[in-house]
C-alpha cells in the first residue's frame, strides 16, 4: 500500500511553520539541525498508541500512530510499518518548527531535550511556541535559571482539553518534562508530581493548574484576585479547606470561596445587574469590564460623546491624580481659581508627599506608572516595602507595597511579571486601580494583650496567659533575596535550611560556603493513609553525614501522623533507632501537620490527643539525651495544639511571609519554602534561629 495521505496536524503545522518563518527574517534552517532520535520516536509512539483502522477523536479522524486522515482514506487499514512511515513524515514538520525556534533565539539543547520538545509539538501543535508562555519564555531567557519544579510546571501546564485536566495528558507532560530535564526516556515523572486544579470561581489567577512534588507539603497556595471581594480560601470537592500544609499525593480540584457571594453581586459586593452598558467598545468579556461597570454605575467615570469609553486611551497626570486621590478618600479640593483645572489636585498631592514639588510641570501630559505607584501608596498611607520584587523590570518599594495589597498586578509575559514603570497608564488600567483602592481596607494588627483574644482568619482564640509571647520586633525583619535578617543587637541569629529526599543530592560544602549555618534533616515520615506505615527518608543518613562534614550544625525532624500516644512513642523509637546514638546540635523535632485529603487517618483527631502525642514524642527522645522541639504553623498552633501544656518545649514556627505574625514565642522561624541556596537544586525551606543552639 502506498501511503500518501496527510499526517497528523501536518497541514496545520505547515501553515504555522510558514507563519513562524515569515516572522523570522533571514532565519533559514541551519546546515546541521536536530532530528528525532530512535529513542524519541519510540517515546512518542508509546503515547500515541497504534490503531490499524481510522478512528474519530474530538471531531477529527486519525490512524496509525495518531496521524490525521479522512475517514475513507484507508479502507483496508495500515500496518505498523506503514503507520511508522506516516509518523516519521509528520515528525519532519514538528522538527522544523522546533529547529526554527532554536535558531531564532540561539538556544542550545541536547538531543533528549529536542526529542521532548518534538513530542510536545507532535501532540500539541505549535501553540506552546510563544514567548508569552512560560516554557518558551524559559528557553529564550535561559532554562538553566529555573528550578526543576518551575520547568515541570511550565511543561505540564499543557494538560487540558478545554478547561478540563486530562490524566493522560498529565502523564505525558510529566514524562516529557523529566525527559527534557534528565534525559530519561523511561522515567518516573508522573510518580513524582501531583497537581491541584484551581477554580477561582470568577476571580483571576495566572496559572490554574499547579504541580507539586509528591509527598511534600503544598506550601503557600496561590491567591486569586477578585477585587472588592475577600478571598476566603480553597476548598476541595468534599468541602474541606486546604491549608497548604497537606502533602501532595494525587490530582485534586479546589474551588475558591469569596465573601459576599450572591446573585447579581459584583466586585465590592454591589449589585449591578440592572446596569445598562452605554459604551459601544466595552464588552462583558473585556478584562476591564467589571471595573468600568462599577465606576460608571457610581458616576465616577464616563465615556465620550460618540458612545465610546476608549479604555486604551492614555490618562493625563491631572486625570490620574484626581481619580487616585478621590478613591483614597480625600475631599474634592474644587477647581483651581486659575490655571489648569487639576491644579488643586496637584497641590493636594504635593502637600501629602505623593509627588515632589515641581515634579509634575504639565498636568495635561502623561504620567508614568512608577509615579502612579508612589502617588497611590502614599495616598493610602502605605510605606515602601523591602523584599523580593515580583517584577522583572523594576525594584520599587511602592510598587511592591501595592502588589502585596492586591492593587496592582503587572503583566505576565514569557514567565516573567513586568510593571513597565516608565510607560503611561490608560483608562482601563486606571479603572482597575481605582476600583481596588475603593474596596481596599488596611487592617491594624490585632493586639491580643489588650483584647484578650487572638483573631486568626475568621475565629477568635482566648490568649493563653501561661504561654510566652514572641518578643521580636516585626519592623526589624529584612528579607534580602532568599536570606532573612533580624536587625536587633540583642539577638544572635543563625540562618538554616531543612531538607528531605525532595532535594535529592545536596552539595553540603557549597551550602556551607554560602553562609548557611545549620540544617534540619528529615529522618522519616508516617503515611497519612489508614495503614500509617513508618518510612525512613532515603537521604537521611547521607544528608546528616554531609551536613556535619561541611561544618554545619544539624538537627532532625520526623513528619508525624500519629493518632495515639502509642503511635507517637513508636515514631520516637523509630527515629532513635535511625539516629543510632548520633549526636545533634539542634533539636529533634516533632512535625505533625493537618492532612485535608479524603481518608486521612488524622481527620477529626481530638486536640487533647494531638497534644498528648507531641508530649509523648518529646519526652521519649528527651530520655535519650536529645533536645525536643515542636513544629507548627498558624492554624495548628492557634487551632489544634493545647499550647499551655507544651510550654516546656521550644517551637519551630512556619509562616511564609516577610514578617512573622505568631503571637506566641518560637525559637526558629521557617520563613519560606521557596528559598534558593547554592548546592541545593530547586527550592528549599529556609529558617532563622533566634538563639545559638
For residue range 503-534, what is the model confidence (pLDDT) as tens digits? 999 999 999 999 999 999 999 999 988 889 99
- Supply the pLDDT for residue 262: 35
**Same domain, residue pair 345 and 481:** no
Share in percent of the chain as helix, strand, coil (round to 5): 35, 20, 45
- Supply the pLDDT for residue 23: 34
Q: Out of 262, 290, 323, pick the residue that ends a domain.
A: 262
Mean pLDDT, residues 317-331: 85
Torsion, Cα 525 526 529 530, to 10 degrees, reads 180
Per-residue pLDDT band at 272 (split at 50, 70, 90) = low
**Same domain, residue pair 431 and 452:** no
pTM of the complete model: 0.43
Neighbours of 448 (CB within 10 A): 18
Q: Would the pLDDT of 331 be above 60?
A: yes
Long-range contact pairs involving 144-151 (C-beta distance under 8 Å, separation at least 24): 147/676, 147/681, 147/682, 147/683, 148/181, 148/681, 148/682, 149/211, 149/212, 149/213, 149/682, 149/683, 150/415, 151/177, 151/180, 151/181
**Same domain, residue pair 487 and 353:** no
More confident residue, 383 or 190: 190
Mean pLDDT, residues 619-637: 95
Residue 569 lies in a domain: yes
Q: Would the pLDDT of 673 be above 80?
A: yes
- Supply the pLDDT for residue 446: 60
Q: Would the pLDDT of 269 be above 70?
A: no
- Supply the pLDDT for residue 512: 96
Q: Out of 203, 238, 262, pick the residue that ends a domain.
A: 262
Over residues 415-433, the pLDDT tens digits come to 678 899 999 999 989 888 8
Residue 457 lies in a domain: yes
Dihedral (CA of 97, 100, 104, 109) sign: positive
Residue 357, exposed/middle/buried by CB under 10 A (0-12, 13-18, 19+)?
Answer: exposed
Question: What is the distance between the terminal CA atoms of the chain, rounded to a whole angstrom?
Answer: 78
Mean pLDDT, residues 310-325: 90
Residue 372 lies in a domain: yes
Per-residue pLDDT band at 338 (split at 50, 70, 90) = low
**Same domain, residue pair 475 and 350:** no
Residue 606 lies in a domain: yes
- What SS3 string covers 396-437? CHHHHHHHHCCCCCCEEECCEEECCCCCCCEHHHHHHHHHHH
Mean pLDDT, residues 533-558: 96
Q: Would the pLDDT of 447 be above 50?
A: yes
**Same domain, residue pair 645 and 607:** yes
Q: Which domain holds residue 205?
A: 188-262
Closest C-alpha to 576, from 628, 530, 508, 533? 628
- Supply the pLDDT for residue 180: 96
The gap from C-alpha 325 to its chain's centroid, in whole angstroms, comes to: 33
Q: Would the pLDDT of 121 be above 60?
A: yes
Mean pLDDT, residues 241-264: 76
Per-residue pLDDT band at 17 (split at 50, 70, 90) = very low
Dihedral (CA of 632, 637, 639, 640) sign: positive
Q: Would the pLDDT of 494 be above 80?
A: yes
Lowest mean pLDDT among 175-179, 202-206, 430-434, 641-645: 202-206
Return d(Cα 93, Cα 79) in angstroms, integer.
Answer: 22
Strand ranges across the sheet with 51-57: 51-57, 60-64, 67-69
Percent of the chain at pLDDT > 70 equals 89
CATH code of the domain covering residue 197: 2.60.40.4270
Q: Would the pLDDT of 289 be above 70?
A: yes
CA angle 315-357-340, nearest 5°? 45
- Supply the pLDDT for residue 496: 97
Lowest mean pLDDT among 239-253, 446-460, 543-557: 446-460
Q: What is the mean pLDDT of the chain?
A: 85
Residue 200 lies in a domain: yes
Whether 288 and 432 have beta carbons less than 8 Å apart is answered as yes
Closest C-alpha to 227, from 151, 320, 290? 290
**Same domain, residue pair 544 and 642:** yes
Q: Out of 375, 407, 439, pick the residue that ends a domain.
A: 439
Return d(Cα 672, Cα 655) in angstroms, integer.
Answer: 7
Return d(Cα 153, Cα 257) in angstroms, integer.
Answer: 24
Return d(Cα 444, Cα 637) in angstroms, integer.
Answer: 22
- Supply the pLDDT for residue 340: 83
Whether 268 and 479 have beta carbons less than 8 Å apart is answered as no
**Same domain, residue pair 325 and 426:** yes
Q: Would the pLDDT of 99 be above 50?
A: yes
Most confident of 2-16, 460-474, 524-538, 610-624: 610-624
Residue 465, exposed/middle/buried by CB under 10 A (0-12, 13-18, 19+)?
Answer: exposed
Mean pLDDT, residues 320-344: 80
Lowest mean pLDDT among 124-138, 315-329, 438-452, 614-628: 438-452
Per-residue pLDDT band at 2 (split at 50, 70, 90) = very low
Whether 305 and 287 have beta carbons less than 8 Å apart is answered as no
Residue 223 lies in a domain: yes
Q: Would the pLDDT of 152 be above 50?
A: yes
Mean pLDDT, residues 476-487: 88
Residue 221 lies in a domain: yes
Return d(Cα 407, Cα 401) in angstroms, integer.
Answer: 9
C-alpha radius of gyration, the chain, whole number: 29
Residue 620 lies in a domain: yes
Q: How many domains does the chain contain in total?
A: 3
The gap from C-alpha 480 to its chain's centroid, in whole angstroms, comes to: 20
Crossing angle, helix 317-327 and helix 343-352, to 10 degrees? 60
**Same domain, residue pair 389 and 463:** no
**Same domain, residue pair 380 and 519:** no
- Supply the pLDDT for residue 227: 60
Q: Would the pLDDT of 294 be above 50?
A: yes
Mean pLDDT, residues 562-578: 97
Amino acid at each position: 500500500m502506498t501511503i500518501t495521505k496527510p499526517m497528523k496536524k501536518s497541514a496545520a503545522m505547515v501553515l504555522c511553520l510558514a507563519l513562524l518563518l515569515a516572522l523570522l527574517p533571514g532565519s533559514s534552517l541551519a546546515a546541521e539541525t536536530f532530528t528525532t532520535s530512535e529513542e524519541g520516536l519510540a517515546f512518542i509512539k508509546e503515547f500515541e498508541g497504534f490503531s490499524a483502522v481510522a478512528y474519530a477523536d474530538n471531531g477529527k479522524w486519525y490512524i496509525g500512530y495518531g496521524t490525521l486522515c479522512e475517514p475513507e482514506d484507508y479502507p483496508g487499514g495500515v500496518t505498523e510499518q506503514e503507520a511508522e512511515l506516516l509518523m516519521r513524515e509528520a515528525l519532519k514538520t514538528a522538527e522544523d518548527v522546533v529547529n526554527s525556534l532554536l535558531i531564532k533565539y540561539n538556544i542550545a539543547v541536547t538531543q533528549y531535550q529536542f526529542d521532548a520538545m518534538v513530542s510536545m509539538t507532535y501532540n500539541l501543535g505549535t501553540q506552546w511556541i510563544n514567548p508569552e508562555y512560560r516554557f518558551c519564555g524559559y528557553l529564550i531567557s535561559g532554562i538553566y535559571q529555573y528550578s526543576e519544579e518551575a520547568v515541570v510546571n511550565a511543561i505540564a501546564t499543557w494538560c487540558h482539553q478545554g478547561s478540563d485536566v486530562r490524566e493522560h495528558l498529565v502523564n505525558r507532560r510529566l514524562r516529557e518534562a523529566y525527559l527534557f530535564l534528565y534525559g530519561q526516556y523511561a522515567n518516573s515523572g508522573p510518580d513524582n508530581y501531583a497537581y491541584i486544579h484551581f477554580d477561582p470561581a470568577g476571580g483571576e489567577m495566572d496559572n490554574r493548574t499547579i504541580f507539586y512534588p509528591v509527598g511534600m507539603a503544598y506550601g503557600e497556595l496561590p491567591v486569586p484576585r477578585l477585587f472588592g471581594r475577600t478571598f476566603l480560601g480553597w476548598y476541595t470537592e468534599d468541602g474541606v479547606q486546604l491549608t497548604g500544609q497537606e502533602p501532595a499525593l494525587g490530582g485534586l480540584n479546589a474551588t475558591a470561596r469569596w465573601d459576599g457571594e450572591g446573585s447579581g453581586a459584583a466586585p465590592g459586593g454591589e449589585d449591578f445587574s440592572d446596569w445598562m452598558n452605554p459604551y459601544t467598545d466595552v464588552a462583558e468579556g473585556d478584562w476591564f469590564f467589571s471595573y468600568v461597570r462599577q465606576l460608571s454605575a457610581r458616576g465616577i467615570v464616563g465615556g465620550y460623546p460618540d458612545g465610546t469609553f476608549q479604555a486604551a486611551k492614555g490618562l493625563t497626570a491631572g486625570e490620574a491624580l484626581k481619580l487616585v486621590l478621590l478613591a483614597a478618600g480625600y475631599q474634592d479640593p474644587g477647581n483651581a481659581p486659575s490655571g489648569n483645572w487639576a491644579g488643586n489636585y496637584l497641590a493636594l498631592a504635593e502637600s501629602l508627599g505623593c509627588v515632589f514639588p515641581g515634579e509634575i510641570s504639565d498636568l495635561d501630559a502623561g504620567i508614568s506608572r512608577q509615579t502612579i505607584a508612589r502617588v497611590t501608596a502614599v495616598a493610602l498611607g502605605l510605606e515602601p516595602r523591602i523584599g523580593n520584587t515580583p517584577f522583572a523590570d523594576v525594584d520599587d518599594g511602592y510598587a511592591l507595597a501595592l502588589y502585596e495589597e492586591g492593587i496592582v498586578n503587572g503583566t505576565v509575559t514569557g514567565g516573567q511579571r513586568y510593571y513597565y514603570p516608565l510607560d503611561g497608564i490608560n483608562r482601563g488600567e486606571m479603572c482597575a486601580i481605582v476600583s481596588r483602592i475603593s474596596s481596599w481596607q488596611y487592617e491594624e494588627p490585632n493586639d491580643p494583650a489588650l483584647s484578650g483574644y487572638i483573631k486568626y482568619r475568621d475565629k477568635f482564640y482566648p490568649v493563653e496567659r501561661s504561654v510566652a509571647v514572641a518578643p521580636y520586633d516585626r519592623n526589624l525583619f529584612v528579607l534580602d533575596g532568599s536570606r532573612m535578617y533580624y536587625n536587633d543587637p540583642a539577638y544572635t541569629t543563625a540562618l538554616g535550611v531543612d531538607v528531605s529526599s525532595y532535594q535529592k543530592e545536596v552539595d553540603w560544602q557549597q551550602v556551607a560556603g554560602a553562609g548557611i549555618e545549620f540544617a534540619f534533616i528529615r529522618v522519616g515520615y508516617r503515611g497519612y493513609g489508614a495503614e500509617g506505615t513508618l518510612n525512613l527518608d532515603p537521604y537521611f543518613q547521607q544528608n546528616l553525614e554531609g551536613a556535619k562534614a561541611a561544618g554545619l550544625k544539624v538537627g532532625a525532624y520526623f513528619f508525624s501522623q500519629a493518632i495515639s500516644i502509642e503511635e507517637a512513642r513508636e515514631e520516637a523509637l523509630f527515629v532513635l533507632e535511625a539516629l543510632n546514638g548520633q549526636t545533634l546540635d539542634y533539636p529533634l523535632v516533632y512535625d505533625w501537620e493537618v492532612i485535608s485529603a479524603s481518608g486521612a487517618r488524622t481527620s477529626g483527631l481530638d486536640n487533647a490527643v494531638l497534644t498528648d502525642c507531641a508530649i509523648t514524642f518529646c519526652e521519649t527522645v528527651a530520655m535519650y539525651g536529645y533536645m525536643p522541639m515542636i513544629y507548627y504553623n498558624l492554624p495548628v498552633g492557634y487551632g489544634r495544639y493545647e499550647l499551655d501544656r507544651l510550654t516546656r518545649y521550644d517551637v519551630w514556627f512556619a509562616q511564609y511571609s516577610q514578617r512573622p505574625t505568631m503571637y506566641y514565642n518560637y525559637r526558629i522561624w521557617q520563613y519560606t519554602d521557596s528559598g534558593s541556596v547554592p548546592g541545593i537544586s530547586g527550592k528549599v525551606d529556609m529558617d532563622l534561629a533566634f538563639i545559638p543552639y
